Amino acid sequence: MTNKKNFASVFSIRPFDYDGFLLLEKCPVQRNHKKRANERKTEDKLKKLLAQHTMIATAELTCDAVDPVTGKDWYKGQVFLIDAHTRREFWMLGLSDFLPEKLTSQHYKVSSIGEVRDLYYTFDSSTSAEKSSDLAYGACRYLNIILKNFKLYQVTGLTWAAHYYDENQFNKSGGYDGNGLIVIYGEFKNEILFLDSFAWASKNKIDKFPHPLQTASLLFLKKHDDDVARSIVQKIYTNKFSLPDDEGREDAVTECLNWIKNKDANFAANYDSIPVLTEGFLYWLHQAYLEETEGKERLYKKGNSIGMIDKYAKIKNVNDYQIIDEVFNT
C-alpha cells in the first residue's frame, strides 16, 4: 500500500477580508494585470461576482530570503499574492457588480523567492492559458525591466536569437516557460533595453515582421557591443535611408531597408523562413559594420548570406559538440 503524506506544515486555508487582500504583496513575477483587467474577456468573466472568484492563493516566507536576480531582501513572514492579481485590479477599478467581503486562500509556506516564483507558474498554468507575451512581461518584471515598446514582449525573435547564440544552453527556438524567459531576457538585457530606448518607425512597416529582424539585431548587438553597431541598428529601425554613391551603390543600411520596403510574397516570418531571413538581415548588418569600421566598399548586389548565423553564435557544435573559442571571429 502506498504511504500517505501530510502537508499541514506547508499548506493551510487562510481567510482574508477584502481590505487585507488589497494589502498583499504582488508576486515578484507577474504579468501585466492592469492591462488584463481592462480586457473585454476579463469583464465578461468577472463582471458578476461569483463564489468561485473569492478563492485565491498566497505564499508566506518561512525565513529571510534574497531575490537572486534583483538582490532585494525579503523577510520571514512576508506574504505574497500568488493567484488573483487580475481579479484584484478589476475589483479596484469598480468593474464588478459587487466586491467580495471575504476571500479564502490556499496558503503555502515557502523558504525562497524561487519557490514563490515556481508556485506562481504552477498556479497560473492550471488556471489560464497564459500567452507568451504575458510570460515575457512577468519575466521582465522579475528582472526589473519595464519596456515601453510592447513589441519587445513578443518573444519569437528573442527566443530564436537565444537558440542561435548558445544552442547548448537554449536548445530550442521557442516554447519557453516563465523561468526560461527570465534566463533569456537576462542574457539579452542590454540589447533589449537598447532596442527599447528609441521609437521605431512604422512607415516601412518593419513591425509587421519583427521576428527575424529582431533575431538578427540581438545577435549583432551581442557580438558588437559598441556605438557603431548600435547606430546601425537604430538607423534600420528608424528608416534612415542614405543617398547612393557616385557609382549608384547604396550603403548596407539602405539596402536592408529597401529589402524590407520591397518585400515579396515569400518575405514572411514562419518556422521555415526565420533562419533564412535572419541570415539575410545579419548579412546587411555585418556589411554595414564593415563599411563603418573598415571602409569596405559598398555592394552592387547582395551576396551569399549562408553561414552568417555561425559568425554570431557563441558556441558552435563541431567535433562531437566541442566548445570552440568563445572569442568571436569574423
CA distance 296 to 71: 45
pLDDT at 16: 96
Q: What's 299's DSSP letter?
A: P
- pLDDT 10s digit of each residue in the chain, 330 long? 678 889 989 999 999 999 999 999 998 876 677 777 788 888 888 999 999 999 999 999 999 999 876 788 999 999 999 999 999 999 999 999 999 999 999 999 999 988 998 888 777 654 443 578 888 988 998 898 999 998 899 899 999 999 999 999 999 988 888 889 999 999 999 999 999 999 988 765 554 556 899 999 999 999 999 999 999 999 999 988 888 888 889 999 999 988 887 765 455 556 677 888 899 999 999 999 999 999 888 887 788 888 899 989 875 443 332 332 333 233
Please name which of 277, 223, 164 lies closest in space to residue 172, comparing C-alpha atoms: 164
- Quick one: pLDDT at residue 324? 28
SS3 category, 200: coil
Query: Please, what is the end-to-end C-alpha distance for the chain in angstroms?
Result: 64
Q: What pLDDT, on the 0 to 100 scale, is given for residue 278?
A: 92
The pTM for the full model equals 0.62
Q: Give CA–CA dist 118/129, Å, rounded.
A: 16
User: Residue 267: its pLDDT value, please?
Assistant: 56
Task: Please state the length of the chain.
Answer: 330
Q: CA 28 to CA 18: how far, in whole Å?
A: 21
